[in-house]
Amino acid sequence: MSDYEKRKQENIKKNQALLASLGFDKPTLEPKEKIIKKAPAAKKRKVSEDTSDESPAPREVKAPRATLADSAPESGVRRSSRNAGKTVDYKNEIVDRTPVPVAYSSGVKGTENTGPMGREDGKRTHDPKTYGSIPGVEVGTWWEQRRGCSADAIHAPWVGGISGGKQGAYSVALSGGYDDDVDLGYAFTYTGSGGRDLKGTKQNPKNLRTAPQSSDQTFENNFNKMLKRSCETKKPVRVIRGYKLRSPYAPSEGFRYDGLYTVERAWLEKGLNPKGYLVCKYAFKRLPGQPALPVRSAASEAEASEDTADEDEQSAEEEVEETKDAEDAVKDEDQTTGEEVEDIEDAEEMVEDEDQTIGEEVEKAEDAE
DNA sequence: GGGCCCGCAGGG
DNA sequence: CCCTGCGGGCCC
């Protein structure tokens, strides 16, 4: 096993243990076929009230949607990990599988996205600089491209992974940029931004949008600061998953809105780069009362992992099992409700003790709310 | 597949 | 204006 692989596994193990200590709702606890049609009662409503500055989203105010025929390009390169690079005829394909049965859109396995499509372009009808859900955009909505997420106000930046303001991040994108991030669906770890050399050297100037790690990340970085702030304010963060993410919860194509999460932890650790530069890491946990996450089918995963080592691609079941083990190791705790797991101090201390490079002080933000 | 360069939205 | 950034198209 290579050194890289060894360190990767170490990081992943540590991240998994931390996620397990958060006590998130697990998919196995939710009836997969069951669709939650109405906002279920007090719990969810409370969340949206607490977490959104805006007035509650009126259901009838739907963001205008382009029809599939309108939004579909004539042809193009598929944004998919399964069919990367293949030229496809979108109109034919989309018409073939339209309409998408709504019954699919909440957690049934499928090789294709089952939720509704958003707009791929156009003028915004909502402000992305808000906390919480966007009126008219339901969890599970997906887009072929990042610009679509931006047009529908779910995630504004076309490239950047983090968007946010004074009270924390509005949204983040999971797109597989970091190999040691762990995605358990209902919780995940995320790596901050910065520490990359996008401009190259003077002799060899570049104009890149992403690049390998070349220095330490810090919480001074604005985006990293925002996410740390999210950890303090517990403002909900919209999350999109992209097809490039290596996870059973990644969509097989495009970018999917997976609902609201909170940031539960923020710390520093050695990243998976050759020099061991520090990266800012965060642990996210999904808010309860949302539609179940779709899981990639075995077939889809098999295709996706055709060229990669088998061990790299885990089935959702395996991940869940490992999580359970990790949970048992961390703490024997009742997970059946998944609601009131606030006594996480023990687990927290334990993790902190393990991690020497943990961030010290969460500096108090001067700005009053 | 990989390398390069580009537009764009957002924040200072 | 400047800078950044888990895209995307194009060329090879």
List residue ranges whose Cβ is under 7 angstroms from nucleic strand C.
A 76-77, 79, 145-147, 157-162, 173-178, 181, 190-191, 193-196, 198-199, 208-210, 221, 223, 242, 244-245
Query: Can you tell me which residue has its alpha carbon closest to the C1' of nucleotide B11?
Result: A222
List the end-to-end C-alpha distance of chain A, in Å, as a whole number: 50
Strand, helix or coil at A171? strand
* Separation between the CA of A117 and the C1’ of B9 (whole angstroms): 22
Task: Tell me the whole-structure pTM to 2 decimals.
Answer: 0.71
Q: Which amino acid is at A364?
A: K
Count other Cβ atoms within 10 Å, centred on residue A2: 7
Q: Quick: pLDDT tens for A123-161.
A: 899 999 999 999 999 999 999 999 999 999 999 999 999
* Separation between the CA of A281 and the C1’ of B8 (whole angstroms): 27
**Nucleotide whose C1' lies closest to the alpha carbon of residue A190:** C6
Q: Quick: pLDDT tens for A51-85.
A: 333 333 333 333 444 444 444 444 555 566 656 65
* Separation between the CA of A352 and the C1’ of B2 (whole angstroms): 40
Closest by Cα among A322, A332, A339, A254 to A294: A254
Q: Quick: pLDDT tens for A257-311.
A: 999 999 999 999 998 877 889 999 999 999 999 999 998 865 555 555 544 444 4
Ranges of each domain in chain A: 3-23+99-296, 297-369
Query: Can you tell me which residue has its alpha carbon closest to the C1' of nucleotide B5?
Result: A207
H or E segment to which residue A6 belongs = helix A3-22
The CATH classification of domain A3-23+99-296, taken from the options 3.40.640.10, 3.40.50.261, 2.40.50.140, 2.30.280.10 = 2.30.280.10
Q: Which nucleotides of B are covered by protein (CB under 7 A)?
A: 1, 4-12
Contact present, A326 and A258 (Cβ < 8 Å): no
* Separation between the CA of A333 and the C1’ of C7 (whole angstroms): 42
Contact present, A32 and A114 (Cβ < 8 Å): no
Contact present, A143 and A120 (Cβ < 8 Å): yes
Answer left, alpha or beta for residue A171, where phi above 0 means left and psi between -120 and 50 means alpha: beta
Closest by Cα among A300, A304, A266 to A283: A266
Q: Exposed, middle or buried: residue A182 (CB in 10 Å: 0-12, 13-18, 19+)?
A: buried
Q: Which nucleotides of C are covered by protein (CB under 7 A)?
A: 4-9
Report the pLDDT averaged over residues A308-332: 48
pLDDT at A275: 81
**Nucleotide whose C1' lies closest to the alpha carbon of residue A208:** B5
Q: Distance between CA A318 and CA A361 in Å, rounded?
A: 36
Q: Which residues contact A334 (CB under 8 A, 6 or more apart)?
A: none
